Structure 1
């Protein structure tokens, strides 16, 4: 075996070992890596390097809503490449790609890079992310590029909290607002703990009219003769 072939074989073996270790260390909902910033996945194939790859879910574990893929894709070649798709190993859940500006594909310029995830950057959204991935696991991601082809690696699945909040899903479903309940009106008098509500206004049916002039029956009478 030539020296160059041996170097290639050793590099490929190192990549396989690092991916296997990542999957094993990240397994389980209670993985310790959820509490710290993990050593994010990275891989290089030909002119393409992908680093800081993560799957970021909703802030609350198991909450409905989309998840996202976050990564930086480098193109060290002399020609631009487009990112045609990202797929999840073992899951049919689609990943919707969107460029940072416009409606075209995500293009990685020659000698440049593209950040996926975060405000103002390209995005890769996994619909129904809570069903497709689980926090604490290592998730296989396959990036398909126009010239290099498939580039795969295993990435940690983490919730959008702490450091990862800025790169997580922009769509955070809000819990439904509580419906207001009717307020009971008191039907009795104030003596039962509430203020009595009058049910009507008394209306007088007539005005009393005097029928005569009262005449005093005793006492001094005035005299006109003095």
Structure 2
């Protein structure tokens, strides 16, 4: 008897579940000032969603060792977590409803994010959503960042679900590319507006929405209407 779930849901976090982009920007800006390096809005936009070592080597120190990347990344995340703690964060429109609908449908859910695990634990705790997730994959659990599919494949593996049965909720071009490279369906949400609609479509998004208020269980099922592995 096949007991595999009908579908599984994998969530990106920043820009999809919550919007803490401004807190990330201020944290990187603070770190850059401390180390005497420039950091602009363009730098932030170009690297948003990358893992910290990739950002540090791309923007600041191309030859940085793993240890130096870890030290600088920790300093940046300390600034970020303090900001979240002091100012709070709220779920984006439609997220609470969709989390509950996916759970009611019996679909396991996971986090697939480039963020450090400490950030994810804090955000899920602040928003009261940790209980929805059967698996969490952070930037520390993978060696390659998006658009490589490793983070989403690792999430599917933890859930024990065929990637072809998974749908990813994303807001970034690199994340959409990673989902499609993993063989998954992808819903791209534009609410925070970091990426134009045409670039998200070009990346392969199966469904493009302005907010997750436009998505329900029926919309997810329709993405798989043309067949699934048996």
Q: Same fold, TM exceeding 0.5?
A: no
Q: Greater strand percent: which structure?
A: 1
TM-score with structure 2 setting the length: 0.23
Q: Greater helix percent: which structure?
A: 2
Q: Structure with the greater relative contact order (CA < 8 A, sep ≥ 6): 1 or 2? A: 2
